Structure 1
């Protein structure tokens, strides 16, 4: 399934993979953004995967739990894939999560992915008690309640996240989450590890 900002339904079943015949030049997908890309894996990897996701998207959380760890162990940690995570807020809660994640991680990509994982694992709490959960996550990262509040009022950060989302919508035609680009080839919605492995291995052999 695909979650769009116009049709955000948290209770949708986790089922389908939507396929669209869209390919974007890899150089277009990896253009520098308003915020620096957060990535795992070598810069010169032959395959680059870019994921657009949102913390309150249940399909994104399922991918993070069930599929991403396998991609990481088999392809990222072995130097075959560079994996980029980009924010695509579906709502104000997602935007707040994205802002706090950036604040906690700074320029540390490993820490960024760790915080993203925490956000997904605490998705239910974030949806139901957003402010309390964000303050808790911030405190666990060493931030005071005031620092978290100041972070969520950072208009410059909000503008940069919005600029990245506008690029995704206008240039890459991203409509919802999760959306992936594998060397420019788009995967919309859920896909299992086997689908990613098939595409990655095909590119590695070419």
Structure 2
């Protein structure tokens, strides 16, 4: 679906993650997609995630609605989503590229749909590409447009740059959450539950 150069670049970046130091950053980065409060907000919450990450899908299903209602819809925090493809990297990369092609107003809807549809291709009920094309169609992107989107060299290069930035920030897995520059520690693989996020966010809001 994407040029071999792209897949090789993503694989190198993924391998480099194992050598990176722990940590992460919440300062503004090129290509950031955000919801909630504007840039410069008192509290910024960054999530590094991937549409092929099962734990990311579980966090979206179980925690995102409450997090969104309490912090994003009320503009209490600036929520930033950063792209970090996980295996199979070519599927994750295609999903990110498609979300970008859908436009800023549909980006998060596409990402959430990809996460929600993850189980269908993981179960073998449908091929990953067919699942991506189906999702694209739901947002008005034809199959030919999808193909153009995921092979656009400039878009691919920009994605590679974002992946490299995540690696440089020391992010070692998904989902990773960073609140005002501090990585949120949590147990289990799904991602931090609401009480853990509240413990990290609410004291920052109270400052």
Partner of 2:56: 60
CA distance in 1, matches of 2:90, 2:22: 29
Partner of 2:104: 107
Partner of 1:137: 135
Q: How far apart are residue 32 of structure 1 and its match?
A: 2.9
Partner of 1:181: 178
- Superposition map of 1:85-100 within 5 A: 85-90=81-86, 91-100=89-98
TM-score calculated relative to the size of structure 2 = 0.80
Partner of 1:12: none
Structure 1: which 4+ aligned runs deviate by more than 4 Å? 21-24
Aligned to 2:184, what secondary structure does the other structure show?
strand
CA distance in 2, matches of 1:165, 1:124: 24
Aligned to 1:79, what secondary structure does the other structure show?
coil
- Superposition map of 1:1-206 within 5 A: 5=14, 29-33=26-30, 35=31, 37-43=32-38, 44-90=40-86, 91-104=89-102, 106-108=103-105, 111-127=106-122, 128=124, 129-170=127-168, 172-187=169-184, 190-206=191-207
Q: For residues 170-203 of structure 1, what are the alpha-carbon distances to aligned partners after superposition, in whole Å with 9 as ceiling and x for unaligned?
A: 1x10111111110001025521111101111111
Q: How far apart are residue 31 of structure 1 and its match?
A: 3.1
Q: How far apart are residue 103 of structure 1 and its match?
A: 0.7
Aligned residues of 1:56 and 1:126 also touching (Cα < 8 A):
no
CA distance in 2, matches of 1:39, 1:175: 21
CA distance in 1, matches of 2:60, 2:80: 13
CA RMSD between the two structures: 2.0
Structure 2: gaps (5+ residues):
1-12, 16-20
Aligned to 1:83, what secondary structure does the other structure show?
strand
CA distance in 2, matches of 1:97, 1:125: 15
> How many residues get paired?
180
